[in-house]
Structure 1
Amino acid sequence: MEVYHWEAKTKAGEKKTGDMEGENTGEVSSALRKRGLTAIKVKKLVTKKPLFGSPKITDLEVVVFTRQLATMVGAGLPLVTCFELSSNGAENPQVREITARVKKDIESGVSLTEALIKEPKMFDELFVNLVSAGEQSGILEAVLERLSVYKEKAAALKAKVKSAMTYPIAVISIAFIITGVLMIFVVPTFAELFKSFGAELPAPTRIVIAISEWAQANWWIVVFLIGGSLKGFFYAYKNNKKFQYQADKLSLKLPVFGMILRKSAIARFARTFGTMIAAGTPILESLDNVAKTAGNMVVEEVISNSKKSISEGRTLTEPLSESDIFPGMVVQMINIGESTGNLEVMLSKIADFYEAEVDRAVDNLTALLEPMILVILGVLIGGLVVAMYMPIFQMGGVVG
């Protein structure tokens, strides 16, 4: 999403300004209307990046900040003091600057919600909406505590899923690089040696040498194809909604990985939805935020359909039960929570269960992949070594 600078007026005619993340100007204008503001001007921000880039605000830094803020507010410290201490203790320059600006805004009489809206790089829409609900209902301390727990759980879940995806990719990449080095630099040395033998080489050796000769002449084609394919995929995924939808749909059907992604999506949905309801946010507004944080367009579509179902007077669970994403147990638990008025409790239990499921699935996947990858590497590298030494063994047998 892009960052837009907006100017708007309140119902009383007071002028407000700020920055907000959004897909387009229409989405930003719609979000402003929900806050009782009439957009005057919405302009996309074009920021110049420094030569070596600036440190990105990580999920961990947001988690630490949220936990510290909840602790300080719980201890009775004024918000100005909280943000001043956070700014002074921040190592990341961006976090330091953002928290200093928020402190300055609060000192000038701006509410915490309005101050956070201006800093979308650090405080997403979910964060702002929860803080807004806490401020309006007078339970900011409790909301910040829930928000800190939510951020910690969400960051842990994201890191777990990321590790499951990164580990095999990293090992395969290393294996590819090692094989490339062997084919381009090591095998040619053996090929020169074998020319002096004057005998026909074994078939495996001839095949390896032929592949090596092709790799020496065309290595740039392989690099170009891999790099171009990856760049093309990520560009299309970012800029083409239809492509992104199909890629997200396919990812949920992948063997093993699809199951992990589906369980993590359910855990994220339940944790986010439960946190927003507990903060007193209306269900329809909560579902808006839950859909935006789904991380998968297919899941986002199902959640949006649930919102539409409620607005039409039907139940939340009807669209969930019709999808392939949410298992019957999840739908039944949500239905019970909706019927008994304990939806928040049920969602929390679903989130706990599926977060534990993701942990187990990732651990099992890692345990399964380690021996498989070792076997593949052994066969690949070992096969190359054996193919290169076969003529030497053959010559030794003849001499013997």
Structure 2
Amino acid sequence: MPLYHYRAITEDGRVVEGEGEFASLNDLTLKLSSQNLILISAKEVKEKDKERGKGISISFKISLPFGGVSYRDWSLITRQLSVLIASGVPIVEALELIAEQVSNKKLKEALLEVSKEIEEGSSFHAALEKRRDIFPEFIINMVAVGEETGELDLVLRRTSEYYEKLAFIKGKIKSASYYPTFVLLFATIIVWGILTFVVPKFADIYRSFGAELPLPTQILLNVSRALQENLPYILSFIVVFAFIFTTFYKNSYTFRKAVHNLLIRIPKFGDIFLKSNYALFARTFSTLYTSGVSIDRAIDITARVVGLVPLKEALEEAKEDVLSGKALWASLQKTNMFPRMVIAMIRVGEETGNLDEMLSSIANFYEEEVDRAVEGLISLIEPLLIVFLGTIVGGILIALYLPIFKIGELIAR
């Protein structure tokens, strides 16, 4: 069995180290749990390293080569922090322990700087506030709520669960795009190869016939010739267009809003885009409200978290109505941006005093809807892609071989 070198926390907050042979990392975790120890990190000691006491880290490593932090990374960080604080470990020491497990240099330095500022007397929330370029606004606000209520470990656990749910939604949406993107990219390469290398060979043969070619073949030859002569211009256009689109999307609010309005009108894809944002809205609002954030502040934070511009504007509009004394459900209904079911459930939640439960139910419902919609979209895309690619490739082959079918007639001329 593999030999593991591990670090864990005792019930009184002490950090202990040890080694032992376990069938898997899961067995190690369960064994430590039975001894009331919480695993922090573990290293599998390879055979060649046993005598030297060296190991290879196999857990809690957050790889961030491009400086970004994924939803799953934030879920892991906040969960670890919640467990450490709940175990009685001081925040300063907890942040230092987590920083040791982070492979991204920028994030590691930020965590250590936050730890140092807290040790010098700053609040956790204030230290994070200075580093908004690294830490998400949601985490900053949740930490502020945790410090205000004295339940930082509980709030961080909810934050971890929140990011775990977001990672699920994002993963589902990505899975819907991976297959068609790969197939279309592969098909584009194949078609480009045929038009660039295969068709010109046939063109030389056809020229020797000295006869007029069928229209489909002639069109294919013209396309091939145009592709070879203008390929640098075509690639330049694609690069320039992508750069301009990305620049406008990032810097122009009006352009981004227009893109989002277009996206939600695309059949199937628009439905997934909308439902995923409804799930994000409900999950964010539920997490904030359950943690003790006021409704108007929860709306404000949620509006900055959601990605869909029309939904963001609707929430900002609803916030003004809530501040003027209107009920949340009535304020949201006025925007005409939310489904009747969402409005009805929020209304019931407000009237019964169970708004957090209703919001959580809405989030669960739309997360399941996104899951089903993605699976349905994938099952629909697969046959459509096969038909599309078959038509393209089949059309090219027919156009290529059509003159050969009439080779006798062409040679006779």
TM-score if structure 1 supplies the norm length?
Answer: 0.82
Once residues 247 and 398 of structure 1 are traced to their aligned partners in structure 2, the CA distance between those partners, rounded to angstroms, is 52
1:200 positional shift? 3.2
Question: Which one of the candidate residues 209, 228, 240 is aligned to 1:197?
Answer: 209
* Post-superposition offset of 1:365: 0.4
2:328 paired with 1:339: no
Counterpart mapping for 1:267-346 below 5 A? 267-346=279-358
Q: Deviations over 1:101-120 (max 9, x none)?
A: 22222222222111211222
Identity %: 39
Distance (Å, rounded) in 1 between the aligned partners of 2:374 and 2:209: 51
Provide the aligned C-alpha RMSD in A. Answer: 2.0
Compare 381-390 and 149-158 and name the one that shifted more: 381-390
Aligned ranges for residues 1-400 of structure 1 at < 5 Å?
A: 54-395=66-407
Taking the aligned partners of 1:128 and 1:396, their CA distance within structure 2 comes to 78
**Secondary structure at the counterpart of residue 196 of structure 1:** helix
Over residues 108-158 of structure 1, what are the superposed CA-to-partner deviations in whole Å (9 max), with x where a residue is unaligned?
Answer: 222211121122233212111111111111111110110100011112212
How many positions carry a matched residue from both structures?
347
Return the alpha-carbon distance in structure 2 between the equivalents of residues 259 and 315 of structure 1. 28
Structure with max Cα Rg:
2
Q: Provide the C-alpha distance between the structure 1 equivalents of 2:215 and 2:260, rounded to a whole number of angstroms.
A: 44
Evaluate the alpha carbon distance shift between residue 207 and residue 54 of structure 1 in structure 2; reply closer, same or farther with a 3 A threshold: closer
CA contact (8 A) 1:262 1:325 kept: no
Kept in 2: contact 1:337–1:344 (CA 8 A) = yes
1:253 counterpart SS class: coil
Structure 1 residue 166: Cα displacement: 4.7
| Paired letter, 1:102 | V
Deviations 1:155-182 (A, max 9, x none): 2212222332454344333333332222
Q: Secondary structure at the match of 1:200?
A: coil
1:203-226: per-residue Cα shift (whole Å, max 9, x none)?
Answer: 221111111111112223322333
Rounded to whole Å, the distance in 2 between the matches of 1:309 and 1:60 is 35
Q: Which amino acid aligns with 1:62?
A: W
Structure-2 separation of matches of 1:356 and 1:396 = 62
Q: 1:186 to 1:323 in 2, by over 3 A?
A: farther
SS in structure 1 at match of 2:406: helix
Cα distance in 1 between the residues matched to 2:98 and 2:142: 20
Contact 1:302 1:319 in 2 (8 A): no
1:326 Cα offset (Å):
1.4
| Structure 2 CA distance for aligned equivalents of residues 169 and 225 of structure 1 | 20
Range with bigger deviation, 159-168 or 379-388 = 159-168
